[in-house]
Structure 1
Amino acid sequence: MKNILEKLYKYNDLSPEELLEIITYFNYSDPERLFFYAQRTREKVYGKKVYMRGLIEFSNYCKQNCLYCGLRRENKNVERYRLSLEEIMECCQEGYQLGYRTFVLQSGEDIFYDDDKICRIIKAIREKFSDVAITLSIGEREKKSYRKYFEAGADRYLLRHETASEDLYKKFHPTMNIVSRQNCLQELKEIGFQTGAGFMVGLPGQRDENLVEDLLFLKRLQPHMVGIGPFIPHGETPLGCEVGGTVAKTLIMLALTRLLLPNVLLPATTAMGTLDPIGREKALKAGANVVMPNLSPISVREKYEIYQGKICTGDESAHCRSCIETRIHQAGFEVDLSRGDHITIGGKQ
């Protein structure tokens, strides 16, 4: 295993067989050496910087019906909400005063926000806060829509591929198509977005071979950002009684992603902190370098419930920033409130 790890660290690539071997091995062995190489790789590119993004969850309506998501269309027990432009701008104003220079606008696939409304939001933020990076995470749209958002001033787009396994994708996304999903990611890159993909760890029926598929897909796509989190069951979904994913397995996938894509921006997700009180710190020590404190109004945070038990639903934005900054410092890292662009986009930080 030592030789395979050294090869991965040196060349940032492995064969499918080698990736499967390494995942299987660390299912039962201490991954400390893997994390060591992942940390060294991140530090060569980004040092010990951890980039802060201000997250604004502006709508929990969704037209899709994914089997694992609490926002799914058929969940009638969700108290739905939409933020107005004025409310979104208030979140941005508060975030800007707190020092954030990246805003992540996230929602379900809510067609109420058509192209005109999305462009109006982007332009309003760009006009008032000219030095920030604007990230969208609003699901699948047509290429012409993506182009409008880019031309309006959006910089980044997050669209997790969820799983690269065609069988698993079809099983858990009855209203969606894996080819369409992957085509959207290619289109976003072609337009010029800093593009984010990502997947879940621990989906029911997911095998290590499927995780290898995810890693190989990312290697081909070469995204600028990758979001990886454990599957956490939601009681109001068809998968509510299933066993969830684990922090331990997710950490292995984070480390492998860092080693395969050295320059990638890799979040330590809230889901990790939900399953483990120090889950985000563990993610940082496995190669992650981004955290996304919540800027959404406290009144709606509990309503954006993709999975149950999500942390930080009641903290004020200032408290949220202070708390997570302290934890980042205690874990041995440096907080960076700049735009935090991908290294090939924004130049060396």
Structure 2
Amino acid sequence: MQDVKALIDKLDKENALSLDEWEELIRGRCDQVAEYAAEIARQRSKEIFGNRIYTRGLIEISNYCKNNCYYCGIRRDNRQVERYRLSREDILSCADIGEELGFRTFVLQGGEDAYYTDQVMCDLIREIKERHPNCAITLSLGERSEESYRLMREAGADRYLLRHETADKDHYKSLHPQEMDFDHRIQCLYTLKDLGYQVGCGFMVGSRGQTPHTLAKDMVFIQNLQPAMVGIGPFVPHHETPLKDQAQGTVEETLYLISLLRLLQPKLLLPATTALGTIDPRGREKGILAGANVVMPNLSPISVRKQYELYDNKICTGDEAAECRHCLGNRMQSIGYELVVDRGDAPV
């Protein structure tokens, strides 16, 4: 255990480890080691962000998707999903409500849906920016061309979230159909960074075929990419996917990795994800206490939330946006933190 704690101290001091060191650190998790890492991670987070927790207003614009990822509930071949697209007016209304409730970042998230062309997205981005000039726009729309990313950036998009899912090519192939290309996904992240987006990546904890070695590769990839944000959450199976019988990821491993990410990049924007809250009633609070500093309440219309089911038993599908934010505010206060009205840009 002392060797593992020494690696945590090294990570805290140098903000980098070798692949072998990462693997040893990940393999060495136990309750005492995890609490040691969480204690330092909390301290580093508070040094930079105080007790301030940033909010992102999530607007799930479409559950159509051309892809067939083996783990995802809105995959193309799931015929049981009731598909929807939010209209321009719906999306603008969500943003209007969101700013009134204190949100200063809107996350437009959806499957890879060809309906949302560059023109549709750029017009929408410009209108949101016009109505809400003090707010940031984050996009999470999957893999697109460099030209598409450039046009949306020029229209006013500030950030882009694209989970890399895994930094191991063989592991990636075990989670995705043949037509999806690992190298292209990774290149998209570097392209987004080159275009000036605040970039977010991430992965599922406990996905099929994941090992301490593949997780170590994830950490080295993040170490090299230096993203503004990393979103990780436990793998939660969906009953209409090929991985429906796969065991879900654990809270304990997810929290440990959140702590290690905080030590790797102390200024990182690090969400306590909805998936964490889905498998543990206090999962998001535990995420904050492990070093996270972002929560993402849902601004989508209640009428469509159950259709945007990436995994089973997703929480907060029936709460009004105001209720959701109020509930999260109370949850954060219960552990000594506060939700703030702030864009929550990545510290330079």
TM > 0.5 fold call: yes
Letter in 1 for 2:328: I
Structure 2 residue 213 is matched with structure 1 residue 218: no
Q: Report the counterpart of residue 294 of structure 2 in structure 1.
A: 290
Q: Report the counterpart of residue 273 of structure 2 in structure 1.
A: 269
Tell me if structure 1 keeps the 8 A contact 2:72–2:241.
Answer: yes
Letter in 2 for 1:154: A
Q: Tell me the distance in 2 between the aligned counterparts of 1:115 and 1:307.
A: 28
Aligned with 2:319 (options 298, 315, 319): 315
Structure 2 residue 270 is matched with structure 1 residue 281: no
- Number of equivalences: 344
Q: Report the counterpart of residue 39 of structure 1 in structure 2.
A: 42
Once the two structures are superposed, the pairs formed by residues 9-20 of structure 1 within 5 Å of their partners are 9-20=12-23
Letter in 1 for 2:42: Q
1:30: Cα distance to partner?
Answer: 4.9
Aligned with 1:130 (options 129, 133, 137): 133
User: Which segment is superposed worse, 17-26 or 309-318?
Assistant: 17-26
Return the TM-score normalized by structure 2. Answer: 0.97
Once the two structures are superposed, the pairs formed by residues 166-245 of structure 1 within 5 Å of their partners are 166-174=169-177, 175-245=179-249
Letter in 2 for 1:211: L
Q: Report the counterpart of residue 25 of structure 1 in structure 2.
A: 28
Tell me if structure 2 keeps the 8 A contact 1:27–1:249.
Answer: no
Letter in 2 for 1:314: G
Once the two structures are superposed, the pairs formed by residues 292-307 of structure 1 within 5 Å of their partners are 292-307=296-311
Q: Report the counterpart of residue 56 of structure 1 in structure 2.
A: 59
1:173: Cα distance to partner?
Answer: 1.2
Q: Report the counterpart of residue 347 of structure 1 in structure 2.
A: none
User: Which segment is superposed worse, 179-188 or 326-335?
Assistant: 326-335
Q: Report the counterpart of residue 325 of structure 1 in structure 2.
A: 329
Q: Give the gaps of 5 or more residues in structure 1.
A: 345-349
Q: Report the counterpart of residue 113 of structure 2 in structure 1.
A: 110
1:334: Cα distance to partner?
Answer: 2.1
SS of 1:31's equivalent in the other structure is: helix
User: Which segment is superposed worse, 151-160 or 9-18?
Assistant: 9-18
SS of 1:120's equivalent in the other structure is: helix
SS of 1:283's equivalent in the other structure is: helix
SS of 1:135's equivalent in the other structure is: strand
Letter in 1 for 2:185: R
Moved over 4 A (4+): 27-30
Q: Tell me the distance in 1 between the aligned counterparts of 2:198 and 2:31.
A: 36
1:47: Cα distance to partner?
Answer: 1.6
Q: Tell me the distance in 1 between the aligned counterparts of 2:210 and 2:159.
A: 29
Aligned with 1:151 (options 133, 150, 154): 154
Q: Give the gaps of 5 or more residues in structure 2.
A: none
Q: Tell me the distance in 2 between the aligned counterparts of 1:321 and 1:29.
A: 33
Tell me if structure 2 keeps the 8 A contact 1:134–1:153.
Answer: yes
Structure 2 residue 82 is matched with structure 1 residue 79: yes
Letter in 2 for 1:39: R
Letter in 1 for 2:324: C
Structure 2 residue 94 is matched with structure 1 residue 91: yes
Letter in 1 for 2:211: R
Structure 2 residue 146 is matched with structure 1 residue 121: no
Letter in 2 for 1:8: L
Structure 2 residue 243 is matched with structure 1 residue 248: no
1:2: Cα distance to partner?
Answer: 2.9
RMSD (Å), alpha carbons: 1.0
Q: Report the counterpart of residue 261 of structure 2 in structure 1.
A: 257
User: Which segment is superposed worse, 328-337 or 13-22?
Assistant: 13-22
1:27: Cα distance to partner?
Answer: 4.5
Q: Tell me the distance in 1 between the aligned counterparts of 2:238 and 2:273.
A: 17
Return the TM-score normalized by structure 1. Answer: 0.97
SS of 1:26's equivalent in the other structure is: coil
> Per-residue displacement from partner, 1:199-254 (whole Å, max 9, x unpaired)?
11101121111100000000000000100011101010000011111111111111
